[in-house]
Chains A and B, each alone.
Chain A
Amino acid sequence: MSLSLDTLTLSHFRSHRRAEIAVDARPVAIFGPNGAGKTNLLEAVSLFSPGRGMRRGSAQEMTRRPEALGWKVSGIVAGPQGRSEVAFLSEAGQPRQVRIDEKPQPQTTLGRIARVLWLVPSMDRLWIEGAEGRRRFLDRMTLSFFPDHAEASLDYEKAMRDRNRLLKDQIRDAHWYRALEAQMARTGAVIDANRRAALTRLAAAQDGAETAFPTANLELLHADADMPEGEAPFAEALAASRPRDLMAGRTLVGPHRADLLGTYVAKDVPASDCSTGEQKALLISLILANARAIAADFGAPPLLLLDEVAAHLDADRRAALYAEVTALGAQAWMTGTGPELFAELGDRAQYVKVTEAAGESRVTQRDRP
């Protein structure tokens, strides 16, 4: 079983006025000069999973300028759930809407028909920058296993922002704190359990896998205060933290304080101390492990979006990546500046050339790089 987009149509989406791509389940290699509109194509595909997409852009940022008329992205998804026609649209400044087989649906429904994972150049600094990026990376992986993760996260955020307001305003109504902490404990425990389960699955998917990429060990940490497992203990921890939190004016314990410690197992070196190339290899290794685990779980490997993936890889690693993506059977959307980066793929992939003229992206499909 495979999961693929059969067609992808962009209308007034970022630099694309109109682009139509008809593809099969093989990887899609996209090449063209800087600024041509390659990443914009990947971003359009990233909308097929719940959330704000690969660039975390608002619907307004995605509308093609200068017209700013609104935009539409649509495609046929073929996967374990059959074929669905999925469309995303935003009318002049309005939030994005999702339609599945012509019916409006909440975003969370997408998790049932498609899974999407991505690796983008800004993640190259993931291991050396702040915890927020690593937390987001962890949550993307977690969401790929547990579609309910998004809802738990939104609900948790909502309750926490309310509690933080009480703390800032120095309100002391214990009943009110307990009521909010009950919501935070319920949703926070789900977030934490989902994350831990996702890490367990990733570890299992790396164990004994035949791969040219290094194994990464991932450990969940929490800043300052430990995050106790389970709803009741977390509720107690929140109550106990109230005096400290009142001083700080915000909540100091909980899943929003999580961080991810990555280790290059073979060398027993923290990911943050690895070379740039090694850090990239660790991320690729995790994405591939995640994809293998989803294949087992969901019934098909996810769509992979690998932006500028070839950039930091030498020819051997590149060949290994192509071999593993092909073996996995994932429709991997990969970008690079020149066609030579994909020469190795031959007819295992299909090709899209993107160019830009007068502020408008042009897309041409090809059989060969």
Chain B
Amino acid sequence: MADRSEIDALIDLMAKLPGLGPRSARRAVLHLIRKRGLLLQPLADSMAEVARTARECLNCGNVGTSDICAICADDRRATGLLCVVEDVADLWAMERSGVFKGRYHVLGGTLSALDAVGPEDLRIPKLLDRVAGEEITEVILALNATIDGQTTAHYIVDQLEGRVEITSLAQGVPIGGELDYLDDGTITAALNARKRM
């Protein structure tokens, strides 16, 4: 291990990706090098492009390539329904299932005093603005059933009560389970059977 090559550096970076370890990173890199023209170069180009353009939507926190994401920019999604999720991965899971036609608000985490995450760190002030500004009629809370998730849900209900109808995804979402891991059918069922808070 005298001099570390660029290839080693790439393997180290790949090994930091979720779901990959050192062994699978080595396999992936070897595969990429073998398919240099077919895979490696297009991947490098694509990554460079995303690195240049990717940003968070200023309105909802979704990840896209412009300041206002495609969902927020689409008038047909102004149904009056606003679904609050913890993470972009949850938003993408909901979109994959295709059942939800409204807009989203991504908190970017959950309230946790121990981790020094407060309401200001979570786009909660922005959420309150949006409810007034976008003629929202129903806020659907799709937060995890963990203590932090439920504390956050409670906080939002406490802030919005009386101003708008607030519902939450029906149980059946497993305790501590994350939206991202649920299949489309489960998400659809949970959305259809949502209940008032």
- A interface residues with partner B (beta carbon < 8 Å): 155, 158-159, 161-163, 165-166, 169, 171, 173, 175-176, 178-180, 182-183
Q: What would 15 A/B residue contacts be, using CB atoms closer than 8 Å?
A: A162-B114, A163-B113, A165-B113, A169-B113, A173-B118, A173-B119, A175-B159, A176-B119, A176-B155, A178-B158, A179-B111, A179-B152, A179-B154, A182-B154, A183-B151
5 nearest CB pairs, A to B: A179-B154, A165-B113, A179-B155, A162-B113, A175-B158
Total A-B residue contacts, Cβ distance less than 8 Å = 46
B150 on interface, CB distance cutoff 8 Å: yes
Does B147 count as interface, using CB distance less than 8 angstroms? yes
Decide if B154 touches A162 in the complex (CB within 8 Å): no
For residue A163, which residues in chain B have a CB less than 8 angstroms away from its CB? 113
Partner of B112, one of A155, A162, A178: A162
Q: For residue B151, which residue of chain A has the nearest CB? A: A179
Chain B positions within 8 Å of A169 at CB level: 113
List B contacts of A158 (CB < 8 A).
147-148
A155 and B155 contacting across the interface, CB-CB below 8 Å: no
The majority secondary structure among interface residues of chain B is helix
| Range for the number of chain B residues in contact with chain A | 10 to 19
Interface string of B25-58 (1 = CB under 8 A from A): 0000000000000000000000000000000000
Question: In the complex, what distance in Å separates the CA atom of A166 from the CA atom of B112?
Answer: 10
User: When chains A and B are docked, how far (Å) is the Cα of A173 from the Cα of B158?
Assistant: 12
Give the docked Cα–Cα distance between A179 and B114 (Å). 15
> Most chain-A Cβ atoms within 10 A of its Cβ — which of B113, B155, B158?
B113
Binary interface profile of B, 141-174, with partner A (CB < 8 Å = 1, else 0)? 0000001101110110011000000000000000
Complex-state Cα separation, A307 to B141, whole angstroms? 51
- Residues facing A in B73-118 (CB within 8 A) are 111-114, 118
Q: Give the contacting residue for A159; candidates B119, B147, B158, B159; CB below 8 A.
A: B147
Question: Which residue in B112, B119, B154 is a CB contact (below 8 Å) of A183?
Answer: B154
A180 in contact with B151 given A169-B113, A171-B113, A175-B159 (CB within 8 Å): yes
Q: How far is the CB of A3 from chain B (nearest CB, A)?
A: 28
